[in-house]
């Protein structure tokens, strides 16, 4: 009896939590400007995921599906989590790899999903655990594919293409990584929970509330930090063009000449304030003039200056260089240097000092 009561309470907790997350997300104000399009789409998809789980949990909590048709209950769980995986991928992968989600890839993913749903339906009709096992394997393969895309893109953005200098930006990407790990654990456990005792179901429900709550908190923080200008959305690179903002050029040159790029934790907002200009104008200028976003440009300035420092002051250690150039750590400096120069700072110094 105690196990049944705990299970019912955990189910009600899931339903309440998912509805609460949805309402709170819809209440968060997001600007209607074009630059916030990814943010608005991610919020909509995340709300759909939460509402979908509240519906599926309600079906299983207030009906006898689990007791009378355990295979159907398992199929509902797998389909819901499969669809949620697709929606989460479409919502958040573009933040770190904007070119990955294309209409063609999306169509292929939906076709695979519908084929898997058909296989699960066959398994339910013929009461075959083996057929459902095949469908589960297909789901897990698709899950691993989406996760691999995320982690590959995450590694490239975090360690190579972007100098994630601000504490806010580093926190956002760490939250994103931990959320992906937590959702992966839920996805792996989901197909097996239906056949476990109710106490195990209760633990899984509590774990789901915690993981999705973490995703919810992460996204709220992301929206707030983006609104305040502390993090940038990943933007498409643009080719340098002769159409620039001439009034910004002397301001940028003066900022660079003053070595303000060395300041630890400098952000686009801080740089724009120092130049007494608007962050949007500055971002557009950097994209049009240098063909990259602010963080990449900042990394380039720091690495080029580090090279000059190594030639003029060879006695400086890598720790001193990292601190001088505003990097958060020696390892962060070395990763960024190697991503741009192709070799480590020590190797570069040995080559050019000897020559």
DSSP string over 123-158: HHHTT-HHHHHHHHHHHHHHHHHHHHHHHHHHHHII
Confidence of residue 324 (pLDDT cuts 50, 70, 90): very high
Of the chain, the percentage scoring pLDDT greater than 70 comes to 81
Query: What's the pLDDT score for residue 236?
Result: 45
Coil, strand, or helix at residue 103? Answer: helix
**Whole-number Å distance between alpha carbons of 10 and 205:** 6
Coil, strand, or helix at residue 32? Answer: coil
> Please, what sign has the CA dihedral across residues 151, 152, 157, 159?
positive
Q: Where are the alpha helices (DSSP H) in 34-128?
A: 37-61, 65-68, 70-96, 103-125
- Record the pTM: 0.63
Kindly report which listed range (68-72, 211-215, 251-255) carries the lowest average pLDDT score.
68-72
pLDDT in tens, 151-173: 676 666 555 444 444 455 566 66
> Please, what sign has the CA dihedral across residues 81, 83, 84, 86?
positive
Q: Which domains does the chain possess? A: 2-227 (1.20.1070), 249-354 (1.10.10.60)
As given in the structure block, the two tokens for residue 152 are: 């590959």
């Amino acid at each position: 009896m105690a196990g049944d009561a705990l299970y019912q309470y955990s189910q009600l907790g899931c339903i309440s939590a998912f509805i609460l997350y949805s309402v709170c997300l819809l209440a968060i104000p997001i600007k209607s400007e074009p630059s916030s399009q990814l943010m608005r789409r991610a919020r909509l998809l995340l709300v759909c995921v939460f509402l979908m789980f509240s519906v599926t949990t309600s079906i299983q909590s207030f009906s006898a599906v689990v007791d009378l048709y355990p295979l159907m209950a398992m199929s509902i769980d797998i389909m819901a989590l499969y669809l949620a995986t697709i929606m989460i991928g479409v919502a958040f992968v573009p933040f770190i790899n904007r070119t990955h989600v294309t209409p063609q890839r999306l169509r292929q993913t939906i076709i695979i999903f519908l084929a898997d749903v058909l296989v699960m339906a066959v398994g339910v009709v013929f009461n075959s655990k083996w057929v459902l096992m095949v469908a589960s394997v297909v789901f897990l393969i698709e899950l691993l594919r989406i996760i691999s895309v995320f982690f590959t893109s995450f590694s490239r953005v975090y360690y190579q293409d972007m100098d994630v200098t601000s504490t806010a930006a580093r926190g956002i990407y760490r939250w994103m990584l931990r959320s992906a790990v937590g959702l992966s654990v839920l996805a792996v456990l989901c197909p097996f929970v239906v056949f476990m005792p109710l106490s195990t179901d209760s633990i899984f429900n509590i774990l789901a509330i915690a993981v999705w709550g973490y995703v919810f908190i992460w996204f709220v923080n992301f929206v707030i930090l983006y609104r305040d200008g502390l993090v940038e959305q990943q933007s498409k690179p643009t080719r340098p063009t002769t159409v620039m903002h001439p009034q910004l050029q002397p301001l940028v040159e003066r900022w660079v000449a003053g070595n303000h790029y060395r300041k630890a934790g400098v952000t686009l907002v801080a740089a724009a304030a120092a130049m007494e200009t608007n962050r949007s104008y500055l971002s557009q200028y950097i994209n049009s003039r240098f063909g990259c976003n602010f963080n990449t440009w900042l990394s380039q300035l720091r690495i080029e200056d580090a090279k000059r420092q190594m030639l003029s002051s060879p006695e400086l250690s890598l720790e001193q260089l990292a601190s001088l150039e505003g990097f958060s750590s020696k390892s962060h400096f070395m990763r960024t240097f190697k991503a741009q120069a192709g070799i480590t700072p020590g190797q570069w110094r040995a080559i050019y000092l000897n020559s």
